[in-house]
């Protein structure tokens, strides 16, 4: 499994250095492309989809996409870019509604269109990548399987050779190429970061979920106004009304699942800078010059996966932390 996983953690390390994963919170920002820089050689196939209205479409099918939300977005983008490379339309994949990644029976598949707007995706990504429905298939038995390798022997070059092979005209007779393999997240990638960004820009949440995001924002604002009344009687030292206290979301990646994983990685690579402690994150946030002296910190952590109950303590003066639990948004998906 290792190369590409490792690359992700290295990249998350990079983004940690780039002021951890701090996302300005007009909550939609949670959904904008995050700053993973996927280190990859920039192989270009240059297969731009022509206008396919009168041509019989061909499809790519991929296994259920799993793990956390951002991981799923990245894996989904890889699936799209694989389809683009093969000059095929991606059959709308199943995402996962749960955070599990080992308990395969608990993965809770959820269709893409329950989370993101299907039509919107295709209109925004028109000419770049395309999603299709299973009902678009004309011949369900016209399928060829493509087995993705895994492990250390499965190199970037072998993966690329495989993609080139399956892009050949010989495979045009098959309506669908079905990718098989343990986990799309582990595929080697061959695409520039800008291609990932293009795909992310086409992902628009369904209304039901973006409404939840709006509610989270209004709860954060409400919290801001309560804080301002209690602590500062309506204004901070500079006379700025705290009703307009800016807020940022901070994803403190100190949950147990990540800590176990990052410690293993540190051991394996004999380095000590992959995990970050709560204190280290607080220090980095305190040093962020872009933050105003009074700021609400929305700590987007999974409370039940924390080692202790101390995340609200120790922030720099003027920083007003609140977590999902105290904000009353535990049942929310964001």
Residues forming contacts to ligand NAG in the complex (CB under 6 A) are: 47, 49-50, 52, 55, 57-58, 87, 139, 141-142, 270
Q: How far is the CB of 205 from ligand NAG (least distance, A)?
A: 29
Q: How far is the CB of 60 from ligand NAG (least distance, A)?
A: 11
Question: Which pair of tokens denotes residue 176?
Answer: 């669908």
Q: Which residue has the tokens 């940022």?
A: 248
Nearest residue (CB) to ligand NAG, 55 versus 104: 55
- Please enumerate in sequence order all residues whose Cβ is within 8 A of that of 266, keeping only pairs 6 or more positions apart, or say none: 272, 273, 274, 275
Q: How far is the CB of 159 from ligand NAG (least distance, A)?
A: 20
- What is 78-92 written as a DSSP string? HHHHHHHHTT-EEE-
Q: How far is the CB of 194 from ligand NAG (least distance, A)?
A: 21
Nearest to 262 by CA among 4, 12, 3, 37: 12
Nearest residue (CB) to ligand NAG, 2 versus 243: 2
DSSP collapsed to 3 states, 26-61: CHHHHHCCCCCCCCCCCCCCCCCCCCCCCCCCCEEE
Nearest residue (CB) to ligand NAG, 2 versus 307: 2
Nearest residue (CB) to ligand NAG, 15 versus 87: 87
Q: How far is the CB of 58 from ligand NAG (least distance, A)?
A: 5
Helix, coil or strand: residue 100? coil
Dihedral over Cα of 274, 277, 279, 282: its sign: positive
Nearest residue (CB) to ligand NAG, 139 versus 238: 139
């Amino acid at each position: 499994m290792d190369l590409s996983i490792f690359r992700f953690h290295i990249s998350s390390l990079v983004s940690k250095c780039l002021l951890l994963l701090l996302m300005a919170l007009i909550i939609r920002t949670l959904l904008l492309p995050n700053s993973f820089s996927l280190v990859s050689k920039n192989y270009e196939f240059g297969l731009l989809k022509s206008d396919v209205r009168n041509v019989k479409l061909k499809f790519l099918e991929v296994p259920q996409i799993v793990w956390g939300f951002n991981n799923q977005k990245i894996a989904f983008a890889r699936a799209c870019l694989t389809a683009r490379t093969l000059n095929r339309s991606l059959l709308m994949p199943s995402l996962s509604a749960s955070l599990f990644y080992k308990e395969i029976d608990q993965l809770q598949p959820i269709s893409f269109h329950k989370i993101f707007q299907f039509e919107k995706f295709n209109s925004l990504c028109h000419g770049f990548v395309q999603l299709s429905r299973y009902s678009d298939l004309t011949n369900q038995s016209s399928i060829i399987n493509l087995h993705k390798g895994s492990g250390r022997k499965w190199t970037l070059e072998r993966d690329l050779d495989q993609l080139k092979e399956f892009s050949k005209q010989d495979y045009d007779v098959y309506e669908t190429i079905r990718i098989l393999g343990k986990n799309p997240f582990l595929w080697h990638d061959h695409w520039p970061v800008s291609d990932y960004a293009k795909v992310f820009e086409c992902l628009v949440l369904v209304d039901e979920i973006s409404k939840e995001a709006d509610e989270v924002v209004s709860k954060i604002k409400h919290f801001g106004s309560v804080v301002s009344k209690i602590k500062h009687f309506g204004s901070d030292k500079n006379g700025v009304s705290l009703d307009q206290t800016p807020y940022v979301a901070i994803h403190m990646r100190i949950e147990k699942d990540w800590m176990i994983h990052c410690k293993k990685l540190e051991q394996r690579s004999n380095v000590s800078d992959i995990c970050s402690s709560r204190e280290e994150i607080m220090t980095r946030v305190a040093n962020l010059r872009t933050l105003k002296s009074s700021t609400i910190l929305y700590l987007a952590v999974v409370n039940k996966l924390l080692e202790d109950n101390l995340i609200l303590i120790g922030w720099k003066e003027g920083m007003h932390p609140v977590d999902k639990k105290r904000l009353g948004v535990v049942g929310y998906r964001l």
